[in-house]
Amino acid sequence: MVAQATHDKTSHQITLLHASRRLVDLPLRGDFEQLARDNPNFVYVMTVESAPGGWQGEQGRVDADMVRKYVSDLHQPIYYLSGPEGMVKSMRTLLVGLKVNEDNIRTEEFTGY
């Protein structure tokens, strides 16, 4: 979706909060970094639980404070949650707790992690 929006030069504002245990485990990290350089409307935020020395990015799990930091109007976006079932369920619960309209939340779980 980000690649298509970049290719089409849409004005959609897109923010990706991309979380993993370790920096090396962030799938497609290089692709997202390039898309962020190519698309001024795309903000790529990496967060890791175990950060390497000198890490300047976000650390820890995505929580309500992090969502509020990067999403100025919580009620405006369509949220796409994708990943392991437990993470998707917990993010959905977090967003509902922030009073996000459930009709604005899309989910896709991946099993076998």
CA-closest candidate to residue 90, choices 51, 58, 64, 113: 64
The DSSP secondary structure of 19-75, one letter per residue, reads EEEEGGG-TTHHHHHHHHHH-TTEEEEEEEEEPPTT--SEES---HHHHHHH-S-TT
Whole-model pTM: value is 0.90
Confidence bin at 37 (pLDDT 50/70/90): very high
Give the per-residue pLDDT at 15: 98
The average confidence (pLDDT) of the chain is 94
What tens digit of pLDDT does each residue of 41-73 get? 999 999 999 888 899 999 999 999 999 999 999
Q: Using the predicted structure, report yes or no on whether residue 113 has a pLDDT greater than 70.
A: no
